[in-house]
Amino acid sequence: MNEMKLIGLGAAYPSRLVTNDDLSQQMDTSDAWIYPRTGIHARRFCSAEESAVTLAIEAAGKALAEAESQGVPASAIGAIVVASMSADLATPSIAAILQRELRLPEVPALDINAACSGFIYGLEVARSLAAVSGRRYALVVGTEQLSRLLSMEDRSTAILFGDGAGAAVIECTETAENREEAAPYVRLFGSRGSDVILAPGVYTGAYEARKTAQAAGGDAAATAEVQASTGDTADTEAAHSGAGDEREATNAETVCIDHMLMDGKEVFMFACDIIPRIIGGLLEQSGETMEDIDHVVCHQANARIIRHVYRAMHWPAEKFFMNMETLGNTSAASIPTALYDMQQQGRLQRGERLILAGFGGGLTWGGCILNYDAPTR
């Protein structure tokens, strides 16, 4: 039976605080409009000297230091996994940069992108890679600089997201099935393959152009075949002359997104549906009940979503931690920063059982039950 424990936590927050009142100076909005709908009063944005990488280094350093205080040196780390949808570079990965900057062992290191579910996916990937390395410990980081993906003219997304990083050192062990005090690590993952959340990357627009063409008149290849059979060579001649290349570039440019887009209603409905299913599925796997769980840490997207979950499931509100009020939605960083804030506020005790539940872009989702075994404040 697998067990997973959190033995070190860390977080890093950018220096620039952006309140709802600040946003009201840039767009048609207000704290009175934003807070009741989201539970967010403020968020933090990176300065020119900060990024997803610099935040990750700071957060990871804190988590490693805490693990070392418990007798787990950095040299014991068997894998480094970073979850992010806003990395500074396509390569090297943030994980590779952490490996170099923090002088970590030559072990597997990679970035993953499961959007706001990323940290939970990262735990599972790190567990597997640490086993490959023959080690029990791994470093998992969620870090984001979402502010660089936002348009301050789009209040549907600009009011929601912020920057930040959270990190955890985990211990993964195998225990006997019949051990009386065993507390299993269980997990669930899935995705619905949706594009209701879009964020720009190194992107040509080809996929969106193809969708637009198909919606307008069907398959482009079929159109070309008809043209060839009828002797209509206008497009072919244009392509050979170079005019076709210019047209395609123009089409790609018109569909290429330059900031994050989201269908908020669709995401809200998805989250309210999937989180209770994640929690119920995890408890069914582990054979536990509500009384066995000390805390539920959901992706910190919207306070209304979390309130809906505990009311629909008839769970005590105090089991559900929320910190989006001052940080906003930090995507892959939201769950580890919530864990760090809980620790700093003295809300976590050794041996407690935690449910983590995430959802995000692609309509990915994931959840796990694990143990807290880091220091108590």
246 pLDDT above the threshold of 80: no
pLDDT digits (tens, 9 = 90+) for 327-347: 999 999 999 999 999 999 999
Q: Is the CA virtual torsion 229, 233, 235, 240 positive or negative?
A: positive
250 pLDDT above the threshold of 90: no
pLDDT digits (tens, 9 = 90+) for 12-35: 999 999 999 999 999 999 999 999
Task: Categorize the per-residue pLDDT at 232 as very low, low, confident or very high, splitting at 50, 70 and 90.
Answer: very low
pTM of the model: 0.85
pLDDT over 70 percentage in the chain: 84
Tell me the helix, strand and coil percentages in the chain, rounded to 5: 45, 20, 30
Distance of CA 167 to the CA centre of its chain: 12
> Rounded distance, CA 117 to CA 107, Å?
24
**Tokens at 244, concatenated:** 């076709």
Q: Which of 260, 282, 293, 291 minimizes the C-alpha distance to 358? A: 282
Please give the single-letter amino acid code of residue 10: G
Task: Categorize the per-residue pLDDT at 207 as very low, low, confident or very high, splitting at 50, 70 and 90.
Answer: low
DSSP H helices in the chain = 20-24, 31-38, 52-68, 94-101, 118-132, 155-158, 206-217, 220-230, 234-241, 243-255, 264-286, 303-313, 324-327, 334-344
Residue 7 φ/ψ, nearest 5 degrees? -115, -5
Q: What is the pLDDT of residue 233?
A: 41
Q: Reply yes or no on domain 2-197+261-372 having CATH 3.40.50.10800.
A: no
Domain boundaries, the chain: 2-197+261-372, 206-255
Active site residues: 116, 299, 329
